[in-house]
Structure 1
Amino acid sequence: MKKNLPLLLTCLFIQMVAGQQLVLKKSKIIDSLKINDSIPDTYSLYLPQKFDATKNWPLLLVIDLEKKEKQVATWFAQAAEKEGYVIAAVRIEDSLSLTKNMVKTGQVLERVSQILPIHKSRIYVAGNGSGARYASLTPLFLNLVNGVVSIGSSVSNTDVLNLKRPFHFIGIIGKNDYAYTDLLSTEKVLTRLKFPNQVLVYKENKRLPDNALVEKALQIFTLRAMGNKIVPKDSSYIEKAYNEDVQKVNALRSQQNMLLAEQYLGEMLSIYGMHKNLDSLRLILKEVRKNKMFKAMRRTENSTFFKESLLKDEYVFDMEEDVQTHNFNNLGWWKYQMEELDKFISKGSIYERQMGNRLKGFVNALAEDNIELVKSDKTIDEDALAFLFMLKTITEPDNFDFYMKIISLSAKNEDFGTSLFYLEEALKTGFKDTEKLYSLENTALLRINPKFNALVSKYLKDARYRIIEE
């Protein structure tokens, strides 16, 4: 009997409708699970080690738009393990309509709820970047969704929110992220509309936050569920979470990070107001706001926000005009703008460095949005597309995909001079993927050009290059 105990602890045998059994292991990502037998789409699942089939569990549905469903589920698993959540991850396809993707998302929620004891009032959706934008739309279409964790993005469109069915929104954002100011504005709108919401901010310049912030988001959902009497109140859980947050505020104040301390105190008031008397917390917040250093920091940051807003408006206007007029001559101006932003990042104050990073991210996102817009037209404007590909080599010089795109597009139109120019630019920047280069679409004629082979030979000494007949 003792020999079978580990298996019983780590595996669950779920009886399916058709009489089949599904083996689910705890603390492990189970991928390639079929949504249903009639379609090939799959999803991934993660059960925390403490999972008990006799209890109802909160569910976090994670959205994946990058064909990395298992990796995305794995990243969220640490927080799910600590806070006691089931994770399901679903891949959303850009090629499908919003309606079809929502149907698929709803099918995953229904499927997981059929095979596991999921608490119907504790179903949440999470995503990062474009996945977060999609996640923020799910409560509008799927009544089962009670909250959203949005990493690096604000709500897609606050104008379409259903005031009769508010959902809990938690944004996680870095101060260097181009969506930071948008998310702060969204927070004010949600508060005015009486949607429960919090924004968790980190100051490091990185794509993903520390997992501790995701753990915090799930903890906030649990605290609200206790406050709304959806689950039994656990006084020790509440007190432990509160004390940890007080310690975080004290650490921020001791580090003289007054802006983050003030912001976090505001979020604490919205989190713990259902559970405790917060008069002492309000006194601390009042003290922080009266602090001379805080006031100076706030003035400087607000001044930076204003400058950033003006530059954003200028970039939007100029890019739209350049795309419409195919203004290749203005690429030099865009290069100058990127150099100016680099000066902010390397030599400016902390607020200017953050602004520079946000604006570079903004320009890149704006260019990519314009690329998708041009591609969506029935008749694609290839000159507009060429301009945007060239622009991306300026705004994101280490992303070789756009060098390859402009080389391919120019070769297609037999503009070999442009192709060779961007080939050399890519090689000078460090491009070394000869297989990708030789398999590039529309480049059969380019590859037999002596100048092409001379460039490859010059920069890739050991490259195996050859003429490929198609």
Structure 2
Amino acid sequence: MKKLLPLIFLVLPLTVFSQQLKIAKGTINDSLAIAIEGENNESFSLYVPTNFTMSKAWPVLFLFDMNGKSKSVISMFATAAEQEGYILASSNNIKDTLSLSQNVLIANRMFNAVYEMIPIHKERTYVGGIGDGGRFATLLPTFIKDIRGVLSCGAAIANTEVLTRKSPFYFIGIAGRSDYNYRELLESKMILDNLNFPNLLILFEGEHQWAPMEEIAWALRSFTLSEMAKGNVPKNDSLITDYYESSLIKANKLLYNDKPLLAENVLDNSIEVYNPLGDLDSLKISKKVLRRSKTYRSKKRLQDNFFLKESLTKEDYGYYLEEDIFTYNYNNLGWWNFQMSELDKMDKSGNEFELRMSSRLRGFLNALISDNINIISTNREVDLEALNFLYQLKTITDPDSPENYLRVISYSSQVEDYGTAIFYPEELLKTGYDNKEELYGLEHTALFRITPEFNAMIAKYLKDARYDIIEEQ
């Protein structure tokens, strides 16, 4: 990773809205402009709670989506932000196609725009996102000062080597137990704990997805209570008591529903957050009783066993994928198809840990293939044969995504491998795909799409082929 100079911003006087800008409360204000001299304007989305007032300073959570979908990402946090009293902001210009330094500069300009516009509490600036957006957010405290915390859904800290106790921030990870990044977040937590770096890991039942509103609100509440413990926010006894009681109720409910490992996670987080604020006796006693139970010990043992099996399988996936890419081993597609059938069997398992493992392995493999596609695609000399192999593999590992089939059809037509080119359109059409215009408009298929075989297939599945089928006499 390239080392970049820290980007330091100044917090300007926070007294009035810039240029008398009108902001609607309790809704997402989209496409707010950031004027940049000599360049095209950037924009961002903003959410302020319905009880917003200019007479007090507010906490702010800057959210990042690497495709610039600011309104979408804010909508997933708005309910929690309304409940916990947070400002939300997200840029429309952050892109995964830009360099890290470019994205950091865009983020920095958005920060300053919000600081000029709204009274922000100087001790309560946070950043967050899901997946790549969350991973990017974990890098920002390295380059932009005064970020107090990071909220990352489904992504661990991008680079733990740059962490320092002299510049700590509060890291809160949120992950579904079936998320393919779940294990990475567990490992990241162990590293942070060893560094005595403030952190929480909030778990829920789910895959690589936005966390439920309750868990996002729980994370925002944890940020607030952390600042209360430091004296940066006036103590609110009602809020503290509610957190304490809600933690015990939530843990007991999870235990009643036969989820002792999730109950332990709730108690661990509650003890961490509540420790500087009050008496921990009930929380500690509850945790001790939980860990002595037969149900907990049995499920912990099962989870560890499947973690081991998962690790070995991931090693196999990584090894064989690297070999197959290097040798363009199309003959091994059958082996990969068998691996998917094994995961399909696990999907029908009555064992909850095997079900989660299957989901994580499927997500891991698709992410691994996508990473290789991105690496090869950005090389100076693009290896088209390797890309073709990877897209053919993705039709096996991610059969519901049309893009993979279309890429294979285009490449096969380009190299005049019409046997492969005619196989994949039918496989795609069998999935229910019906975009005839896209099929006829594929790049490199000018000769292929006028063949009788292709048009006969279109007529069979979608009716009304573009070109007439003329049978030889």
User: 1:306-321 maps to which residues of 2 (within 5 A)?
Assistant: 306-321=308-323
The whole-number CA distance in structure 2 between the counterparts of 1:15 and 1:217 is 29
Deviation (angstroms), 1:466: 4.7
CA separation in 2, counterparts of 1:206 and 1:358? Answer: 9
Identify the residue that residue 30 of structure 2 maps to in structure 1: 31
> Which residue does 2:343 correspond to in 1?
341
State the match for 1:134 in structure 2. 136
Cα offsets for 1:408-437 (capped at 9, x unmatched) = 122222222212111111011211111222
Residue 71 of structure 1 deviates from its aligned partner by 1.6
Decide which of 455, 458, 462 is 1:456's aligned counterpart: 458
Matches within 5 A, 1:100-111: 100-111=102-113
Shift of 1:126: 1.2
Name the SS of the counterpart of 1:346 in structure 2.
coil
User: Which segments of structure 1 move beyond 3 Å, counting only runs of 4 or more?
Assistant: none
Deviation at 1:55, TM superposition (A): 0.5
Match of 1:93 in 2: 95
Per the TM alignment, residue 280 of structure 1 is displaced from its structure 2 partner at its CA by: 2.2
What is the TM-score normalised by the length of structure 1?
0.93
TM superposition shift of 1:14:
4.9
- Equivalent residues of 1:59, 1:118 under 8 A apart: yes
Q: Distance in 2 between matches of 1:442 and 1:209?
A: 42
Change in Cα spacing, 1:466 to 1:56, as seen in structure 2 (3 Å) is farther
Are the structure 2 counterparts of residues 154 and 336 from structure 1 closer, same or farther at C-alpha, using a change threshold of 3 Å? same
Partners of 2:379 and 2:163 lie apart in 1 by 29
Give the equivalent residue in structure 2 for 1:3: none
Cα distance change, pair 183–75 in 1 and its aligned pair in 2 (3 A): same
Equivalent residues in 2 for 1:53-68, closer than 5 Å: 53-68=54-69
State how far apart, in whole Å, the 1-side matches of 2:449 and 2:62 are.
47
Distance 2:467 2:46 in 1: 47
- Equivalent of residue 331 in structure 1, options 326, 330, 333: 333
**2:76–2:210: 8 Å Cα contact kept in structure 1?**
no
Distance 1:28 1:112 in 2: 16
Counterpart secondary structure, 1:23 = coil
Name the SS for the 1:392 alignment partner: helix
Residue 80 of structure 2 aligns with which residue? 79
Question: Aligned letter for 1:107?
Answer: R
Cα displacement (A) at 1:228: 0.8
Quick check: 1:140–1:162 contact (8 Å CA) kept in 2? no
- Say which is worse superposed, 363-372 or 153-162, in terms of deviation: 153-162
Letter in 2 for 1:373: I
* Alignment correspondent of 1:186: 188
Matching residue's letter, 1:77: A
**Structure 1 residue 206: deviation in Å?**
6.5
Shift of 1:25: 1.0
After TM superposition, give the deviation of residue 66 of structure 1 in Å.
2.8
SS at 1:374's partner residue?
helix
* Residues 14, 115 of structure 1: 8 Å contact kept: yes
1:315-353: per-residue Cα shift (whole Å, max 9, x none)?
111111111111111111111011111111112511000
Larger deviation, residues 89-98 vs 168-177: 89-98
In 1, the alpha carbon distance for the partners of 2:445 and 2:29 equals 42
| Count of residue correspondences | 451
1:123 alignment counterpart: 125
Decide whether the 8 Å contact of 1:61 with 1:89 is kept in 2.
yes
1:175/1:202 contact within 8 Å kept: yes
Q: Which stretch of structure 1 is more off in the superposition, 139-148 or 306-315?
A: 139-148
Deviations along 1:278-305, one digit per CA (max 9) or x if unpaired, are 1221111111111111111111110000
Q: Residue type matched to 2:217 in 1?
A: E
Q: Does the 8 Å contact 2:180/2:207 carry over to 1?
A: no
Q: What letter matches 1:71 in structure 2?
A: S
The residue type equivalent to 1:305 in the other structure is: F
Whether 2:279 is the aligned partner of 1:277: answer yes
Is this contact kept in 1: 2:402–2:428, CA < 8 A?
yes
Residue 116 of structure 1: CA displacement?
Answer: 0.8
SS at match of 2:23: strand
Gap regions ≥5 residues in structure 2: 1-14, 469-473
| TM-score (normalizing by structure 2) | 0.93
On the 8 A contact 1:200/1:264 being kept in 2, the answer is yes
Cα distance in 2 for residues equivalent to 1:126 and 1:138: 10
Is the 8 Å Cα contact of residues 17 and 118 (structure 2) preserved in structure 1?
no
Q: Separation in 2 of the partners of 1:249 and 1:439? A: 55
Structure 2 partner of 1:391 = 393
Give distance in 1, aligned partners of 2:72 and 2:137.
18
Aligned residues of 2:36 and 2:42 also touching (Cα < 8 A): no
Alignment partner of 1:208: what SS?
coil
Separation in structure 2 between the aligned mates of residue 121 and residue 466 of structure 1, nearest angstrom: 67
